[in-house]
Amino acid sequence: MNKELPKSTKVVIIGGGVAGTSCAYHLAKYGWKDVVLLERDQLTSGTTWHAAGLLGQLGATSTITKLRKYSLDLYKNLEKSTGQSIGLKQNGAVTVASTKERMQELLRQATTAQLSDVEVQVLDKKQTKDIYPGVHIDDLIGSVFMPNDGQADPIGVTNVLSKAAKKEGAKIFEKTPVKKILIKNGRISGVGTEKGNIDCEYVVLATGMWSRQIGEEINVSVPLYPNEHFYVITEPIKELSKNLPVLRDYNACLYLKEDAGKMLVGIF
């Protein structure tokens, strides 16, 4: 990591999770070489380190679907160009529907995904059982299957984005908490840290659940708040397939994924 803070830069990104490192990479990649990212502790030490790491392409809108497909393609390309693994496993994903309304929503999303060149298959109950043997299908209407979806290691993704960002010219500093956002003549003029101030034209808040708190200090309303998310991890299951697809059930507000020979059940 870089050691000496610059006196000035075009943009300062606050937060060294997957969002902050992605922002640093994309800004530097597309021309803003004068980019500085500041992380208060270590990269991924906020909420990124315990993210689910699911890589799903199906979105509620065409724009979201395109962004998700772009993300998956980007991670695969950066894994090759950096020589660093993100723990990518494209084991597919099944989203089930237990109501007619949910199935109608999934069919609409599937059609949108196909228009974005995303592979998707619409399944009936029996086909769902064939792909995901452990699922109870008596109350299911059907499902959609995304064969190229999967999961990755959030820490690995962040480190790959960080490496790619630095390769493009961005500077990343760990153990550098921002103490204050500096204002001059009603505009952001820089940030203050224990290691000195940095003058800048722009500040990007990529601090997750802390963004609202930081924004309030400069009278900026950030409509963001933490949401509880629970997950349970089982003991190792011998018969559990390493290639078991991710299962999502939005009606039950949960997802399931294989995790190192164990089953992880997330509840949101």
* Residue 39 tokens, joined: 């992380």
Alpha-carbon dihedral sign for residues 17, 18, 24, 25: positive
**Yes or no: domain 54-152+227-267 corresponds to CATH 3.30.9.10:** yes
Per-residue model confidence (pLDDT) at position 219 = 87
What stretches of 73-205 adopt beta strand conformation (E)?
A: 93-97, 121-123, 142-146, 150-151, 171-173, 178-184, 187-193, 196-205
Intervals of CATH 3.50.50.60 along the chain: 8-50+155-216
Per-residue model confidence (pLDDT) at position 232 = 92
Per-residue model confidence (pLDDT) at position 253 = 92
Per-residue model confidence (pLDDT) at position 50 = 83
Per-residue model confidence (pLDDT) at position 189 = 96
Characterize the bridge pairing of strands 246-249 and 254-259: antiparallel
Nearest to 9 by CA among 146, 160, 189: 189
How many C-beta neighbours within 10 Å does residue 161 have?
Answer: 26
pLDDT in tens, 154-195: 999 999 999 999 999 999 999 999 999 999 998 999 999 999
pLDDT digit string (tens) for the chain, length 268 residues: 457 899 999 999 999 999 999 999 999 999 999 999 999 999 999 889 888 899 999 988 999 999 999 999 999 999 999 999 999 999 999 999 999 999 999 999 999 999 889 999 999 999 999 999 999 999 999 999 999 999 999 999 999 999 999 999 999 999 999 999 999 998 999 999 999 999 999 999 999 989 998 999 888 888 888 888 888 999 999 989 999 999 999 999 999 999 989 999 998 8
Q: What distance in Å separates the CA atoms of residue 162 and residue 167, rounded to the nearest whole number?
A: 9
CATH homologous superfamily of 8-50+155-216:
FAD/NAD(P)-binding domain (3.50.50.60)
Question: Helix, strand, or coil here: 201?
Answer: strand
Angle at which helices 154-167 and 18-29 cross, to 10°: 30
Per-residue model confidence (pLDDT) at position 195 = 92
Per-residue model confidence (pLDDT) at position 2 = 52
Intervals of CATH 3.30.9.10 along the chain: 54-152+227-267
